[in-house]
Amino acid sequence: MKTFVSEVQKYWPKMEESLGHSFQDKALLAEALTHRSFANEYHAENLPDNERFEFLGDAVLDLVTSEYLMVTLPEAPEGQLTRIRAEVVSMPGLARIASSLDIGPAMLLGKGEERSGGREKSSLLADAVESLIGAVFTDGGFDAAKAVVLPLFVPMLEEASKVEGQDFKSRLQETLQASQRALPIYKVADASGPAHERIFLVEVIVDDTVISSGQGRTKKSAEQAAAELALIALSDET
């Protein structure tokens, strides 16, 4: 184990440099980069995995990005702020950050996870980003976490703000493609009201599961509403 850990540890100084945070307690960095598969493999060592930091980092990330959007978009309604944050703080968005930080080689993975390509898995890398943010918060407090989060996420937040209001169906398709999931299927689940005032209910189905539904006076508007809610639902999954 020591040889393997040493091989991975050589990536950690670069990781700290990319984050813009030098850990006072290096054990926190180690924990943030320890996947459950590695901790389980060496259970006799009583190694903590990064899932608790992932939980904490998720909350810190939501707070920092929410505050940024509140300040920079003072006129935006709650729904718009939620959509922008959901697009960025999602598995594809976090995986992009992980790629920029080159997190994959720096992680401690079990042999099985290593063989199955864990260092390139979007879900695993996204979790590691949140874990690192949680570890930074623990090591240096909110200001340190904010100093790490903003440089990484502001470009994506600005990008999402500019495209806000564009076609939700296209954005949903791009999001699903980025995470290598099946493309959405739109199904009219209900149509009610008189002919001149029809209300359509459309469901979005991904991987044979209904993930959202939306209403509109036309099928197209109902599909857009359903796609918008699907984007938020996908973000909540992460």
User: Mind telling me the catalytic residues?
Assistant: 58, 130
Cβ 130 vs Cβ 98: under 8 Å: no
CB contact at 8 A, 34 and 50: yes
Neighbours of 178 (CB within 10 A): 15
CB atoms within 10 A of CB 3: 6
How does DSSP classify residue 214? E
In the Cβ-directed half-sphere of 49, how many Cα atoms lie within 13 Å? 16
Residue 186 CB burial class (10 angstroms; 0-12, 13-18, ≥19)? buried
